[in-house]
Amino acid sequence: LTNNEKSFVQKAILESIRVDGRKLDEFRKLRISFGSEWGMVHVLLGQTRALARVTCEVVQPKATRPNEGMLFVNVELGPMAAPHFDGGRQSDESVHLNRILERALKDSGCVDLESLCLVAEEKVWNLRIDVTVLNHEGNVIDCCSIAALTALAHFKRPDITVDGENVIVHTLEEKEPIKVTLFHYPICVSYAIFNKGTVAVADPSYLEERVAEAMMVFGINSYGELCGLHLGGITLTSADLLLRTSVKASKRARMLVEKIKAAIAKDAADREKGLPVGFSESIERNEVTVHAQDRLQVRLRHFKLRGATNGESADEDDEEQEKDEGVEKMDAAGESVTASENILRLERNADEESME
C-alpha cells in the first residue's frame, strides 16, 4: 500500500467521503441464502463472501461439565479468500477470527448446551461450526459472524431415542429434526478508527482496514446487551466515541437479527410448500453469483458517451439513479456536488502534494 493511497483515504475520511461512495455510518448490502441441508448458509456482505456449515456428532462430555454439550467454531482463511493467505497453515488473522467468534457465540451463552445432553456423563451432542471465507473484501469478521449465527439458528439436529444404555440416532426421514435452542442472537459489528481515535467508519472495506489506525468490534445482541468488545490497533479511542458507536452498533445488531429471522422463516415456508431450495436455485436467481453484486456507486457527473455512427451523445447523468444511490449532497453555495467529484478533487490534491 503506497503512501499516496493512505493519504488519499485518510483525507477522504476527514471530509466524510469514502472511496465506494458510502457514508461513514453506512453498511454494505447483506444477502443470505441457504443450502439444501439444514445449517448450510452463504452470506454476501458487499463483495465479502463466507460459507458456514453446522454439523453434529455424539461424543463423550467433558469431565468438568458432564451434563452439557459442546460447541466448536472453526474459521478457514485460505488462498481462495485472498492470495496472501497460506493454505497449509492457520494465519494470525484466522486465529484472531476464531477467538472473536468463540467469544461471541460460546462465552456469551447463547446456545443452550444442557439441551444437547443425551445421557449424563456419557453421551452429548458436539456442534461444530465451520466457516470458510470465499472472498475477503473487508470486514470479514461481521460476515463470518452473520454466517455462523445464521447457520446455527437454521440448523436442526437429528432426533434420538434412548433405550437403556443405547442411543439410537434417527434419520431426518424417520423423525422430524430438532432445532438448536438459542437464548439470544449475538452479532459482531465492526468499525475502523481514523484521525487519532476521533472518527469511526462502519463496515470498513479491505482498503480502509489497511489504512485504519485501529479496529473496534462489538459483540452485541438484539436486546442491546454487550457480549464482547475487541479493541486493536495503534491509537486510543475516546470514551465519547465508544459510547456513540455502541449505540449505533446496537441498532445495527437489532436490524441484522430481524433480517436473519426473516430469512430463516422464508426458507422454512418454502420447504413446507415443497418449493425448490438450495444453492442451485440461488444461482439460477443470481443471488450468489457475481451478477448479484452491486454496481459501484461512484459515478462521473456530466459524462457523455458519443456513438460511433451517428455522433449522438448519451448523458450518463441519470437523476433517478443518483437518488437511489444517495451519493449527491449540497455544498455551502447550494450547488450539487457528487461524491465522485470530491474524490477526484482529493486525488488531485494528493498528487500535487506528492510532486512538491
In a domain, 354, yes or no: no
Q: Is the dihedral of CA 135, 138, 144, 149 positive or negative?
A: negative
Q: Model-level pTM?
A: 0.79
8 A C-beta contact, residue 223 and residue 248: no
Rounded to an integer, the average pLDDT of 36-46 is: 93
In a domain, 2, yes or no: no
Report pLDDT digits (tens) over 200-257: 999 999 999 999 999 999 999 999 999 989 988 887 788 889 999 999 999 999 999 9
Full 3-state SS string of 42-106: EEEECCEEEEEEEEEEEECCCCCCCCCCEEEEEEECCCCCCCCCCCCCCCHHHHHHHHHHHHHHC
In a domain, 70, yes or no: yes
In a domain, 249, yes or no: yes
User: What is the residue range of 173's domain?
Assistant: 23-292
Please provide the DSSP assignment of 163-215 as one string: ETTEEEEPPTTTS--EEPPBS---EEEEEEEETTTTEEEES--HHHHHH-SEE
d(CA 130, CA 151): 10
In a domain, 180, yes or no: yes
Mean pLDDT of the chain: 82
- The pLDDT, as a whole number, for residue 345 is 65
Report pLDDT digits (tens) over 286-339: 666 655 555 544 544 444 555 444 444 444 444 444 444 443 444 433 444 455
- The pLDDT, as a whole number, for residue 84 is 82
Give me the number of domains the chain comprises. 1
In a domain, 322, yes or no: no
In a domain, 5, yes or no: no
In a domain, 138, yes or no: yes
CATH of the domain at 95: 3.30.230.70
